[in-house]
Amino acid sequence: MSRGRFITFEGGEGSGKSTQVRRLAAALTERGIAVEVTREPGGTQGAEMIRALLVSGATGRWDAETETLLHVAARRDHVEKIIRPALARGTWVVCDRFIDSTVAYQGGGHGIALETIHQLHALMVPDIAPDLTVVLDVPLDVGLERAGSRADTENRYEQMARAFHERVNGTFRAIAEREPERCRLVDATRTEEAVAATVWRTVETSLLEPGRERAAQ
């Protein structure tokens, strides 16, 4: 049995990741590909408990170092219990956020050294990386307006200063530019359908065997 493929979606607040994760998972399922849809922080019972600590409450409830460690702890549980087993059995994993979000939010946003983040990841979550990362890009004002319109109590990060979000979005763009073989930067200001079509073309050309799947509708 061949290993499954690991696809992650990244982007700042209000970039539409969750919507595009669902749409891609549905497109893959229609083509007979087994898919595990998951998210970070979260995905397992333990990681979801850590998520509740991270995405709610006052913006200053954790310092940057503690926040980083919480994200890495949640990721380790998630990878070991959900992602690795799914990939091993040939299931494709489509994940809303992964290590690039830690680099962007805790690294770019809070100023944690990128070397520290990568060392923690190598130690706690070794030998795993996405096959493809879709970075959904929207102007900051558009993303924050979208995020603010949601009836959602998971808004701790949304409430952080504008300068924080500028650094986060800039870091995502830098990651996509630095790793073009893995990352695809997608303009997410367009309609949901247009973005989904671009995502599908990216997956089809990057990861699907020629002739295996019928063309997207």
- For residue range 108-164, list pLDDT tens digits in order: 999 999 999 999 999 999 999 999 999 999 999 888 888 877 767 788 999 999 999
- Cα separation, 109 vs 78, whole angstroms: 23
- Cα separation, 24 vs 7, whole angstroms: 10
CA 124 to chain CA centroid, Å, is: 18
Averaged confidence pLDDT in the chain: 93
Residue 1: per-residue pLDDT: 67
Q: Is the residue at 59 inside a domain?
A: yes
Q: Is the residue at 98 inside a domain?
A: yes
**What is the extent of the structural domain holding 86?**
6-207
In this prediction the pTM is 0.93
Spatial neighbors of 80 by CB under 8 A, at least 6 apart, are none
Q: Is the residue at 95 inside a domain?
A: yes
* Single-letter residue type at 212: R
- Cα separation, 204 vs 132, whole angstroms: 11
Tell me phi and psi for residue 147, to 5 degrees. -65, -40
Q: Is the residue at 111 inside a domain?
A: yes
pLDDT at 100 over 60: yes
Q: How many domains does the chain have?
A: 1
Could you read off the pLDDT of 182-195 as tens digits, one per residue?
999 999 999 999 99
Residue 145: per-residue pLDDT: 87
Residue 154: per-residue pLDDT: 87
User: For residue 124, how many C-alpha atoms fall within 13 Å in the half-sphere facing its CB?
Assistant: 19
pLDDT, average across residues 157-183: 96
pLDDT, average across residues 40-54: 97
Tell me phi and psi for residue 212, to 5 degrees. -75, -40
Spatial neighbors of 115 by CB under 8 A, at least 6 apart, are none
Q: Is the residue at 32 inside a domain?
A: yes
Q: Is the residue at 215 inside a domain?
A: no
Q: Is the residue at 1 inside a domain?
A: no
Residue 210: per-residue pLDDT: 58
- The CATH number that applies at residue 163 is 3.40.50.300
Task: Point out the least confidently predicted range of 49-53, 154-158, 187-191, 207-211.
Answer: 207-211
Task: Point out the least confidently predicted range of 15-19, 141-145, 209-213.
Answer: 209-213
Is the four-CA dihedral 12, 100, 209, 181 of positive or negative sign? Answer: positive
pLDDT band at 213 (very low <50, low <70, confident <90, very high): very low
Q: Is the residue at 158 inside a domain?
A: yes
Closest CA to 68 of 124, 130, 8: 124
pLDDT at 86 over 60: yes
